[in-house]
Amino acid sequence: MDLDKYIRVIEDFPKEGISFKDVTTLLKEGEAYRYAIKAIADKIRPLDVDVIVGPEARGFIFGAPVAYELGVGFVPVRKPGKLPGETVRYEYQLEYGTDILEIHKDAIKPGARVAMVDDLLATGGTIQSAVKLVESLGGAVVHIGFLIELGFLNGRDRLDGYDVSALIQY
């Protein structure tokens, strides 16, 4: 299936010069959404993972159904103050400042085989930070899967040494 035709491109959003890839147009098409979830899951299935981890918020939209498809659990990575239990956090650099991600301290068992799932790989900062959180808890990241990769932003460079896949390349 040509998933690219289900992605709406909005120029100059959220600011001038950005060519935004809107996944909501794929999400509303049941057959395309189902195909995307199954295709991501099929890349992960042979890796015998214990859990899927997805960063807020679109990582939830893709990661949770991939976990369901594989019959494994799902663990959210969130912005500070959103998780009710004891958390660990990772602060990372943005172009203009910093951001923080958190995960429940008991979310990943040491030695767990983990696949990360998100909607889009751009510069790689968010997913790299989520990977560091998982690894700080003793998890082994065996795959990182995306719906879309913006190859011209070289985000894959930050994930050197990891098994990375994307269904759509720009």
Choose the catalytic residue: 58, 89, 113, 158.
58
CA–CA distance, 80 with 15 (Å, rounded to integer): 25
Q: Is 95 a catalytic residue?
A: yes
Q: Is 45 a catalytic residue?
A: no
Choose the catalytic residue: 16, 31, 86, 95.
95
CB 69 within 8 A of CB 42: no
- Name, in order, each residue with C-beta under 8 angstroms of 43's C-beta and a sequence gap of 6 or more: 143, 145, 165
CB-CB neighbours of 20 under 10 Å: 14
- Name, in order, each residue with C-beta under 8 angstroms of 124's C-beta and a sequence gap of 6 or more: 153, 154, 155, 156, 157, 158, 159
The catalytic residue positions are: 58, 95
